[in-house]
């Protein structure tokens, strides 16, 4: 297992450096970040369900207003009259993500459809997120646009990686979801409910959050609670999250060594999820969605010089009726400030 993980990391780190040069063009006079995130269930000792995710993100911070010099014109046009732009006394940032994820059966060597499990599914998506924050409240407004189905390229990506690493061939992709464009509009707020102070700079923090999202990809509403312990907590608060590995790590580039240990859990009511419910407009295999869900994670973030790292493990409750075990996966993310 360690050999497989190492091989994947080498390939993905090479892709990371290429993406920094091609996609993450720095904006002058702003703070710029690039992040590679790798999620895989084999790190947690299983291979099935949500089995793999790969994302490249880039972000710009260090400004107080959204305008055409800090975000694309079309994003400014859509957001200029929204609450995220009207809040006074806030610092602001923007991030973009291109991600691919895949879902498989618990036994990937079965060619036939597994009736009691969700369909194989691939997702290729772009996500843009606007941040308005201070040291104690962080608001995020995000838009996800993408595609599920064969057009996501997930089948080919998994088969190539499994062939390169000598893993079992996934044989059930004939039963994946059909092609369908997907979207999700989401809003989140995080509060620093309490933060201790210390002459050493090391502090403990209690964080609360709410989330609401709507779209054919997923619609949900929820609230959560987390704990963070480390130094420079105010600096990294803007991107505090239930799954911090999916966010830019703003600790990168700070002087000295900075670190945070975190644990966070969020309870959700999920109205729809295309990965469980199946295609919206076409007939496809599905399983009964469990509306009440929860997801939690624990891990740590560390930076030295221009680099930041986040390592975490996440686990969710059952997402559908009859699920034998909640999904779990490990996550690594590498952030470079440039």
Domains of the chain by range and CATH? Answer: 2-337 (2.40.128.140)
pLDDT score recorded for residue 18: 52
Closest among 180, 156, 183, 182 to 170, alpha carbons compared: 156
Could you read off the pLDDT of 64-91 as tens digits, one per residue? 999 999 999 999 999 999 999 999 999 9
Quick: pLDDT tens for 96-153.
Answer: 999 999 999 989 999 999 999 999 999 999 999 999 999 999 999 999 999 999 999 9
Rounded to whole angstroms, what are the CA distances from 53 to 1, 8, 45, 125, 297?
17, 12, 16, 11, 16
Q: How many CB atoms lie within 10 A of CB 166?
A: 9
Burial bucket for residue 315 (CB in 10 Å: 0-12, 13-18, 19+): middle
Q: What is the pLDDT confidence band of residue 21, given thresholds at 50, 70 and 90?
A: low
Which of 253, 254, 214 has the alpha carbon at shortest distance from 232? 254
pTM, to two decimals: 0.90
* Two tokens, residue 310: 């986040």
Inter-residue contact 301 to 262 (CB < 8 Å): yes
pLDDT of 24 higher than 80: no
The mean pLDDT of the chain is 89
Task: Kindly give, in sequence order, each residue whose CB lies less than 8 Å from that of residue 17, ignoring residues fewer than 6 positions away.
Answer: none
Q: Whose CA is closest to 32, among 245, 336, 244?
A: 336
Helix (H) or strand (E) holding 177: none
Q: What is the DSSP letter of 207?
A: E
Burial class (CB in 10 A: 0-12, 13-18, 19+), 107: middle
At 191, list the tokens: 């509060």
Q: State the DSSP H helix or E strand holding residue 3, giving kind and residue range, or none if neither.
A: helix 2-22
Query: For 196-240, how does the pLDDT look when each residue is reduced to its tens digit (9 = 90+)?
Result: 987 788 999 999 999 999 999 999 999 999 999 999 999 899 999
pLDDT band at 187 (very low <50, low <70, confident <90, very high): very high
**More confident site: 1 or 326:** 326
The alpha carbon dihedral of 117, 118, 120, 123 has a sign of negative
pLDDT at 311 exceeding the cut of 50: yes
How many Å apart are CA 170 and CA 111, to the nearest integer?
Answer: 8
Locate 119 and state its tokens.
């369909």
- Minimum mean pLDDT range among 20-24, 108-112, 154-158: 20-24
Identify whether the C-beta of residue 141 lies closer than 8 Å to the C-beta of residue 212: no
pLDDT at 41: 72
């Amino acid at each position: 297992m360690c050999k497989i993980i190492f091989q994947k990391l080498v390939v993905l780190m090479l892709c990371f450096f290429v993406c920094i040069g091609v996609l993450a063009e720095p904006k002058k006079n702003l703070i710029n970040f690039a992040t590679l995130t790798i999620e895989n269930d084999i790190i947690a000792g299983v291979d099935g369900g949500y089995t793999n995710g790969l994302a490249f993100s880039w972000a710009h911070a260090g400004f107080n207003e959204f305008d055409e010099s800090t975000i694309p014109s079309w994003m400014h046009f859509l957001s200029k009259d929204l609450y995220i732009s009207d809040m006074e006394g806030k610092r602001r940032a923007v991030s973009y993500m291109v991600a691919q994820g895949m879902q498989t059966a618990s036994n990937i060597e079965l060619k036939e459809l597994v009736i009691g499990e969700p369909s194989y599914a691939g997702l290729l998506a772009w996500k843009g997120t606007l941040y308005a924050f201070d040291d104690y409240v962080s608001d995020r407004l995000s838009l996800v646009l993408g595609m599920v189905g064969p057009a996501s390229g997930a089948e080919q990506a998994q088969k190539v990686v499994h062939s390169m690493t000598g893993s079992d061939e996934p044989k059930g992709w004939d039963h994946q979801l059909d092609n369908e464009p997907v979207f999700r509009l989401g809003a989140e707020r995080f509060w620093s409910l309490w933060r201790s102070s210390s002459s050493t700079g090391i502090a403990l923090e209690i964080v609360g959050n709410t989330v609401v999202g709507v779209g054919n990809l997923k619609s949900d509403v929820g609230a959560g609670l987390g704990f963070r312990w480390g130094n420079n907590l105010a600096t990294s608060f803007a991107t505090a999250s239930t799954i911090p590995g999916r966010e830019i790590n703003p600790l990168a580039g700070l002087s000295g060594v900075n670190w945070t240990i975190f644990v966070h859990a969020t309870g959700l009511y999920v109205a729809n999820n295309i990965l469980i419910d199946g295609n919206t407009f076409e007939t496809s295999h599905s399983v009964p969605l469990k509306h009440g869900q929860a997801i939690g994670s624990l891990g740590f973030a560390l930076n030295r010089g221009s680099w930041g790292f986040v390592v975490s493990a996440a686990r969710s409750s059952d997402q559908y009726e009859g699920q034998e075990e909640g999904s779990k996966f490990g996550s690594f993310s590498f952030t470079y400030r440039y």
